[in-house]
A and B are shown apart, each in its own frame.
Chain A
């Protein structure tokens, strides 16, 4: 028994040291970690598994809804109930389909307005909140033309950028992730700044910092992406959100504000990956019509 305990403790120490070594190698490697190959391999293997699981778990929700009380009493009641449930289920799924069609419609409209060429994809997996990061898996990968550092959007606006792409799936870093920094331009004043995420918990808000401390920014000002060099990772002209609250005092080094995103990050489903950026900056042509005008 004593020998067994010692062996177990040795194994424990060995595996903990292995974990720490992996973390260190991956951390030191940064953007070019030697473990990225392992990651890519895992994405190729687990990606299809996730696609299958998502197809099943998507059905589970619908089925749970339609399976309700079992009919007791006469057969006629049961038959009617069953028929009723079947009709209700059909109605619900058709509603789900309609939602999806509406989302696709909005996405195509936005893509058309900005002249982006997009590959549509669905969100199939979301990282656990305990990992502290805001990333999702989508069901489009390198086989669909998706590469790392491409812009991801939906019908409402900017969703994020592709972090890594596997053969059939890709991982998207959401704009609300604290690691995500997006160059933006104010529609009204053309001022330039950048946003960083704060996580979804605070209503999916972004922090905005404007480069010019003298610039005026007011509540309701709308933001579009400024566009990165070479259009990666962000293409220009994608609607980001509108200013919710202005912080700080004028005259300080930078002006800061909170931005409410157009995209609802708690209900992401259909997204589009921009595989071909627009030839000319669409400026703010893609913004939704201004309220009341």
Chain B
């Protein structure tokens, strides 16, 4: 794990988190909030592989658990994004076969993260998590993440290519 990779990841996660709570969650969109942090984890995991993805996912998740106005048990996003980072990283080699693979990974990560986060809440009798709330969030979460990924993922990959010219294709 090189320093430049870590620096880029830190920068992207910080910017994504700041945009997420101050801008994206304020957009008058029905249902879910476009999850930029998730896209950063997916994007970097797709280019650096499962090992990097899971560590990044854990870090980004822990940050999401801590950044105000977070008000849930610390560790919930960390658990979810660790898994997302690992699985997205595992799909790295598939991305060369088809351009639709990143899209499918983003859609899967969007749906999976909502379900897993809600599932963890349900285990702890979280009064917020109701079946109605989950089904209302799920379609919009996937839709927004996929739409946003069309801009975010190429931008992230371009940044990776610029910072490490021989990094993306191993």
Contacts and interface: CB of A to CB of B under 8 A. Distances in A.
A23 B58 CA distance: 13
A129 B144 CA distance: 12
6 contacts: A16-B79, A20-B79, A27-B124, A39-B74, A129-B137, A130-B33
A136 interface: yes
Given A19-B82, A130-B33, A163-B71, A179 B128 contact: yes
B165 interface: no
A19 B18 contact: no
B82 A15 contact: yes
Contact of B33 (A47, A128, A171, A266): A128
B61 A132 contact: no
A134 B136 CA distance: 15
Given A136-B69, A201-B136, A125 B22 contact: yes
B168 interface: no
Interface of A: 4, 7-8, 11-12, 15-16, 18-23, 26-27, 35, 38-39, 42-43, 46-47, 49-50, 53-54, 57, 60, 124-133, 135-137, 163-164, 166, 169, 171-173, 177-179, 199, 201, 266
A57 B22 contact: yes
B14, B24, B66 interface centre (most CB from chain A within 10 Å): B66
Nearest to A174: B69
A171 B69 contact: yes
Given A132-B121, A169-B68, 14 more contacts: A7-B51, A8-B86, A11-B55, A12-B50, A12-B82, A15-B54, A16-B82, A19-B76, A49-B14, A57-B26, A124-B22, A126-B21, A129-B137, A171-B70
A271 to B, nearest CB: 13
B19 interface: yes
Closest 10 CB pairs of A and B: A22-B75, A19-B79, A42-B66, A132-B128, A53-B18, A125-B21, A23-B75, A135-B69, A128-B33, A57-B23
A57 B19 contact: yes
